[in-house]
A and B are shown apart, each in its own frame.
Chain A
């Protein structure tokens, strides 16, 4: 079982609709969860972090965390063509008390169609 799993996509969503990206993780002890956006040929860019169960909203983005189900999701409202990118789910790993060892999923490619 992969430590962090995402559907690779591509996920195609019409402009203006809600894009829903999902991620599951295997380590029940994980405490920190992140969503990164990566445009083609660019570096990963942090867009959301979430640490507690429930929802966290930031503009058009909402991260949702359910630790009991080991599930984290990202909703993008009013999707824009500029949201077309690969979205990486990341979860902090075991051990390494002085470092944030983050395990990345393989990413979901999102395409917003006009």
Chain B
């Protein structure tokens, strides 16, 4: 199936740990994104890569480090997890350019205890 996929779907971990989330898309898109959706359901962009180049880097703690090995994959590594990092993290992809729609992965629900 063509889609945006993410792993893992759920992630429960303790404060101070380091964790990674992986994303893959087979839609042929060249741009990928990480979003964070908090408990109030507000969806906010964190990062975007276009053809492996970081092009959007919002005000995010530097404990969050994205990596894009190729244009079909985007990973998010989080160091020293904090309680406030608990949220749902969505990966999305699109063609480049402002007019193109973004398609979302199923999300990773991160719970930090």
Whether A and B are associated in the same complex: the answer reads: yes
Binding site for B on A (CB under 8 A): 31-32, 34, 38, 42-46, 49, 51, 86, 88, 92, 96-102, 104, 106-107
Q: When A and B form their complex, what is the total count of cross-chain residue pairs whose Cβ atoms lie within 8 Å?
A: 70
Smallest distance from the beta carbon of A33 to chain B beta carbons, Å? 10
Inter-chain contacts of B42 with A (CB < 8 A):
104, 106
Q: Which residue of A lies closest to B90 (CB)?
A: A43
Q: Which residue, A88, A100, A106, has most C-beta atoms of chain B within 10 A?
A: A100
Residue of A nearest to B43 (CB): A104
Dominant SS at the A interface?
loop
Are B102 and A98 in contact (CB-based, < 8 A)? Answer: no
CA distance A44 to B91 in the complex (A): 11
Bin the interface of chain B by size.
20 to 34
Distance between Cα atoms of A97 and B48 in the complex (Å): 12
Give me 21 A-to-B residue pairs in the complex whose CB atoms sit less than 8 angstroms apart, sorted by A's number. Answer: A32-B100, A34-B101, A42-B106, A43-B105, A43-B107, A45-B104, A46-B102, A92-B98, A92-B99, A96-B98, A98-B55, A98-B97, A99-B31, A99-B56, A99-B98, A100-B96, A100-B99, A100-B101, A101-B98, A104-B43, A106-B41
- B44-85 at interface with A (beta carbon < 8 Å): 44-45, 48, 50, 55-56
Least Cβ–Cβ distance between B35 and chain A, in angstroms:
8
On whether the beta carbons of B102 and A102 are closer than 8 Å, the reply is yes
Question: Which residue numbers of B lie inside 8 Å of A, CB to CB?
Answer: 31, 33, 40-45, 48, 50, 55-56, 90, 94, 96-107
Tell me the minimal C-beta distance from B33 to chain A in angstroms: 8
Q: Which 3 A-B pairs have the closest CB atoms?
A: A43-B104, A104-B43, A92-B98
A34 → B minimal CB distance (Å): 6
CB–CB A106/B48 < 8 A: no
